[in-house]
Structure 1
Amino acid sequence: MSTNSDSLHKGKKLSSIECPSNLGLARSSYAREPAVRRLPEWLKKWGIHAAIHPDKTLRVETPEYETILDPVTNVLNADKIISYAIKQSEVMANEIDSESFQLILGGDCSLLIVSAISFKKKGSFGLFYLDGHTDYSTPAQSQSHAAAGMDLAIVCGIGHPKLTNIFNLRPYIEEKNVFCVCNREHDIEDEKLITNSQIHYVPLGRLRKTGIRQTIVQFIEMIETNKLDGFYIHFDVDVLNDNIMPAVDSRQADGLSFRELQQLLLPLLTSPKMYGMQITILDPDPDPGAQYTKAFISNISPLILKVKQ
């Protein structure tokens, strides 16, 4: 796949791909069913589509929510997650090319499985994993057994082949092609798996010490050095400061400001190597008046528009 990496950034067609899945989450303390499956409609209701004017909108409905622990993988709802990943990746893979940008609206973080499979079908890609958690754990480490807390590990090939080797594509993305950025939930035991991997691990404190600009430079250099076709972004909104985005399932103190988010995303979204971004975990239930959602849309929309310019 040619990406014209030495050319100037030029505008791309914008596709909005709706993936309303909550299958990767356990039940929350405040709801029988996690409301993140309403994320696409919620963002549309409060103006994201009116702001970014997607050239195309696609949607694949998710299976009905359950909390069934699969005895083979030891992961909740594994069979439905796999079924949905197969179905949605067949749609998404057909949309990926160097002239388009895929805005993938979740949903929970298990949608990374869909994205990673779709991009693997098209070539060799890097991943900028922007999340308040590493999500790099095994079922044995997880109390909830929810795939959204293991998605990065799964797409890098850690776990049962039933989940990690769909279409015989294991790993969906190589560890050395991943930057995991902004984790702020520190547990030495839980971090061992990622610190002992080939993933470029930049927790929030290190990001602020090293500098956003330098981190982006290192990521783009990695894309070039590894001769990748391009890259995509996983953006979990829980990476934002809890004061500006408390509408998530796993709240933590601190997090990125909108200014820091802009400094991170702008150079990535305007790179000719950029192919897509998925947005996950914004939960409408804790934000009934859309106070935080509207602020989020007003800050993220101008950045997304840059891919069309």
Structure 2
Amino acid sequence: MRKEINIFEFPFNLGLTKKKHEIEPGVKKLPDWLRKFDFHSQLDPKNIFRLEGPEYAMNFDQETQVKNPIQIIEYAQKQSELILKNYDQNTFNIMIGGDCSILIGTAVALKTLGNFGLFYLDGHSDFIPPRLSLSGGVAGMDLAIVSGMGHEKLTNINGFKPYFLEENIFCVGNAETDDEEYVSEVINSDVHYYDLENLRENGFRKTSENFLKMVQEKDLDGFFIHFDVDVLNDKIMPAVDSRMEDGIDYNNLKEILIPLLENTKCFGIEITILDPDYDTDGLYTKVFIENLIQIIKL
């Protein structure tokens, strides 16, 4: 990683529905949690920017059929403004969530800058319309939203629909493949889809190289990486909102990310869903940081 680094902190949790035992989802604590274990200091960023999130709510909106759309849209617009105000072509950007709905703000910013690709590394596809969502949480629909599926209020901020073209998206690592209706949405789209089984079969590095080949052939202006930590195996990362047993390990993650991070067209990466409330002693977080720092600094 030769570029200077900017860190953007987006402590936002309104894309998630809180569980019965929770006061609110703990993912909004992630920026401070990573800072506590020296993630920031080890990267020595040029700048650290922060956009505080609003108070937690679970307001279901009949028009959009999701929870908290007004707050999510307003936050996304502020995110976009913050990113664009501090945009530097020679800087690598690390966005720390928060839940997956923080992708929307970055997507709006990138659409302002040009035609970008998206490498979506996640234990779920998050590519469903509101009618298939049991919770109404935008964090479970964010990939659909940024590619134009869903209510216009969310998908067409600033008249930018779609923020990413389906054909410029790789959706990688989905381990939740039991629900045929859920999976059929992404399978029947133009998204390049590699569920966990197909990812292993195709090869971790090869899948990233396939993505980079697409970026080059289409002469895209750049690309962004979404990294939801629930794509990791539950044994090494159980501190997530929606746990699943299977997933990739840190060696697999290294094979996936290094080719992407080495590419000059990589705008940055976002880290989402790691919940400090489920890792109170930092056992899993410390190992996570150690591995991610090694990957970023290579």
Question: What's the TM-score bracket when you normalise by the shorter of the two chains?
Answer: over 0.9
Q: What does 1:169-184 align with in structure 2 at a 5 Å threshold?
A: 169-184=160-175
Of stretches 90-99 and 63-72 in structure 1, the one that deviates more from structure 2 is 90-99
Following TM superposition, by how much is the alpha carbon of 1:212 offset from its aligned partner in structure 2, in angstroms?
1.5
Contact 1:108 1:281 in 2 (8 A): yes
Aligned to 1:226: 218
Equivalent-residue separation in structure 2 for 1:191 and 1:95 (angstroms): 37
Equivalent-residue separation in structure 2 for 1:19 and 1:252 (angstroms): 25
Following TM superposition, by how much is the alpha carbon of 1:47 offset from its aligned partner in structure 2, in angstroms?
1.3
Following TM superposition, by how much is the alpha carbon of 1:98 offset from its aligned partner in structure 2, in angstroms?
2.5
How many residue pairs get matched? 297
For structure 2, list consecutive stretches of 5 or more residues without a partner in the other structure: none
Aligned to 1:188: 180
TM-score (norm 1): 0.94
Pick one of 19, 30, 40 that aligns with 1:49.
40
Q: What does 1:143-182 align with in structure 2 at a 5 Å threshold?
A: 143-182=134-173
SS at match of 2:130: coil
Pick one of 8, 31, 53 that aligns with 1:62.
53
Within the alignment, does 1:272 sit opposite 2:272 as a pair? no
Pick one of 93, 102, 120 that aligns with 2:111.
120
Aligned to 1:18: 9
C-alpha RMSD of matched pairs (Å): 1.0
Deviation per CA, 1:49-101: give whole Å up to 9, x if none: 12111110000111111000112101100000001011111011233332011
Aligned to 1:214: 206
SS at match of 1:182: strand
Within the alignment, does 1:135 sit opposite 2:109 as a pair? no
Contact 1:240 1:257 in 2 (8 A): yes
Pick one of 82, 86, 97 that aligns with 1:95.
86
TM-score (norm 2): 0.98
Equivalent-residue separation in structure 2 for 1:248 and 1:280 (angstroms): 9
Aligned to 2:297: 305
Counterpart amino acid of residue 114 in structure 1: G
Contact 2:16 2:99 in 1 (8 A): yes
Equivalent-residue separation in structure 1 for 2:111 and 2:297 (angstroms): 26
Contact 2:126 2:144 in 1 (8 A): yes
Following TM superposition, by how much is the alpha carbon of 1:236 offset from its aligned partner in structure 2, in angstroms?
0.2
Equivalent-residue separation in structure 1 for 2:13 and 2:228 (angstroms): 14
Pick one of 251, 274, 282 that aligns with 1:290.
282
Counterpart amino acid of residue 179 in structure 1: F
Equivalent-residue separation in structure 1 for 2:296 and 2:114 (angstroms): 23
Q: Which runs of 4+ in 1 moved over 6 A?
A: none
Following TM superposition, by how much is the alpha carbon of 1:28 offset from its aligned partner in structure 2, in angstroms?
1.6
Aligned to 2:227: 235
Aligned to 1:82: 73
Equivalent-residue separation in structure 2 for 1:167 and 1:84 (angstroms): 13
Equivalent-residue separation in structure 2 for 1:250 and 1:29 (angstroms): 14
Contact 2:69 2:154 in 1 (8 A): yes
Equivalent-residue separation in structure 2 for 1:49 and 1:97 (angstroms): 19
Deviation per CA, 1:260-302: give whole Å up to 9, x if none: 0011111111111111000000000110000000010000012
Higher RCO (CA < 8 A, seq sep 6+): 1
Following TM superposition, by how much is the alpha carbon of 1:152 offset from its aligned partner in structure 2, in angstroms?
0.2
Equivalent-residue separation in structure 1 for 2:259 and 2:85 (angstroms): 26
Contact 1:242 1:251 in 2 (8 A): yes
